[in-house]
Structure 1
Amino acid sequence: MFQLTESQQQLLLQIARDSVRAYLAGEVLGLPEFTSGVLAEPCGIFVSIHKGDDLRGCIGNVHPVRPLCRSAAECAIAAAIGDPRFMPLTLAELPLVEFEISVLSTVERVENVGEIEVGIHGLLISKKGARGLLLPQVAKAYGWDRERFLQETCWKAGLNSDDWKDGATIHRFRALVFGEKHFHFTTNS
């Protein structure tokens, strides 16, 4: 798993917020172009938006699709307006929310569920065309044990809670998680 400096983390968070602000305001935001370095590398990424303690949107790509910088912008906009669990974010709400980014490692197939470390690994479970993913911080926040984490990921996929035991494909991944809360961002935009 690669690392990002604090300044790179802050830049990605600013790109996420600025991209959503520009989109909601009907403006075009020019993103910085990185031709080398970690911000130019394709990576799996999820952007979560929180309003207080409540999730307000979360969208991402488990597999690398675009350079990290561009993915942060695209996933932030998608989380703000495209998460079907929530109404689209409004420009008036933007100062009330905080952004969190999870940069994912490569996914690894799990042969034995004992390989899953709660709070360290996120899960991707698929079976019969259904697929569910939970980030590592979710299990930690709810205090789940390994079995409950597997069950909840199955539910997220629309599967029965014990489908992970029979014929499901299980993958794990790590995530570098950072958010505006950590950096005490001002959220007045």
Structure 2
Amino acid sequence: MPASPSTLDIQALSDDVRQTLLRLARQAIASHWQPQLQAQLDALVHDIPGGEQPLACFVTLHLHGELRGCIGCLEPTGPLASSLIRYARAAAFEDPRFPPLRQSELPQCTLSLSLLGPLAPLPAGSRQELTAALTPGVDGLWLISPGHKATFLPAVWHELPGRPEFINQLLRKGGWPAGTWPEKLQAWRYSATEVSEQPSRLQP
């Protein structure tokens, strides 16, 4: 059967599609204060080729270079377009690490979208085993054990380029006790296509 013309190739997104995805996320947040934007939001949903296909994604907000919110899913929870709307709003208003975004902050925020590939298991019987299996700059990492879980997107490698520190900081994020290797730890890797705003393109 031939591929559907509406299939979204996340590894080869055109600039137009990237800008449409970013406008969708930004207007999803703005509609919190401006309900009249809902009609434009609905139109943007139909402008995304393959926007109806299920895809895991994260939406990240930075304000003056500092993290201001990040929410998403590691496995698809619905069509990409509706997921971006949901997680853009959640990153702005529901991230428990931050107060809800103020309307005056949105024009100064930079949005980044992470479109995720499928999860693949990694060996995690020891720190050495997991360290050797990771590919720096490429792999997102999800760790889970009874009572704990945490993930770092591939973009975090820009801040933590070394594999030991990447793992250590992720364990700290998930609340695992320092100095010991978690029991029954499970690990998965995933890829991500990053779609980010340039400061010169931000809309008021």
Provide the C-alpha distance between the structure 2 equivalents of 1:41 and 1:10, rounded to a whole number of angstroms.
18
1:157 maps to 174
After superposition, the C-alpha distances for 1:36-94 in whole angstroms (9 at most, x for unaligned) are 95322111100000111101000001110111111111100000000011111011111
Counterpart in 1 of 2:202? 186
Q: Give the percent of matched residue pairs that are identical in Structure 1 and Structure 2.
A: 27
Contact 1:132/1:155 (CA < 8 Å) preserved in 2? no
Number of the residue aligned with 1:90: 102
Partner of 2:81: 69
The residue correspondences of 1:1-189 to structure 2 (distance < 5 A) are 2-3=10-11, 4-27=13-36, 29-30=38-39, 31-32=42-43, 33-34=45-46, 37-111=49-123, 112-113=129-130, 114-138=132-156, 140-161=157-178, 166-181=183-198, 184-188=200-204
**Counterpart amino acid of 1:136?**
P
* Deviations 1:102-155 (CA, angstroms, capped at 9, x unpaired): 0011111102422211210111000113110111111x2223311211111111
Distance 1:163 1:144 in 2: 22
**Take 1:102 and 1:36, find their aligned partners in 2: how far apart are those partners?**
16
For normalisation by structure 2, the TM-score amounts to: 0.83
Partner Cα distance (2:147, 2:82) in 1: 28
Q: CA RMSD in A?
A: 2.2
- Supply the distance in 2 between the matched residues of 1:14 and 1:36 (Cα, whole angstroms): 11
Runs of 5+ unmatched residues, structure 1: none
Q: How high is the TM-score relative to the length of structure 1?
A: 0.89
- For residue 122 of structure 1, what is the amino acid of its counterpart? G
Q: Which amino acid aligns with 2:79?
A: P
2-side partners of 1:27 and 1:121: how far apart?
A: 40
CA contact (8 A) 2:137 2:161 kept: no
CA distance in 2, matches of 1:6, 1:46: 19
- Report the CA distance between 1:160 and its aligned residue: 2.3
Q: Which moved more, 1:172-181 or 1:28-37?
A: 28-37
* 1:71 aligned partner, one-letter code: S
Rg bigger for which structure? 2
How far, CA to CA, are the matches of 2:113 and 2:48 in structure 1? 21
Measure, in 2, the Cα distance between the counterparts of 1:119 and 1:98. Answer: 21
Asked if the contact 2:54/2:76 (under 8 Å) is kept, the reply is: yes
Change (3 A) 1:60 1:163: farther
**How many residue pairs end up in the alignment?**
186
SS of equivalent to 2:189: strand
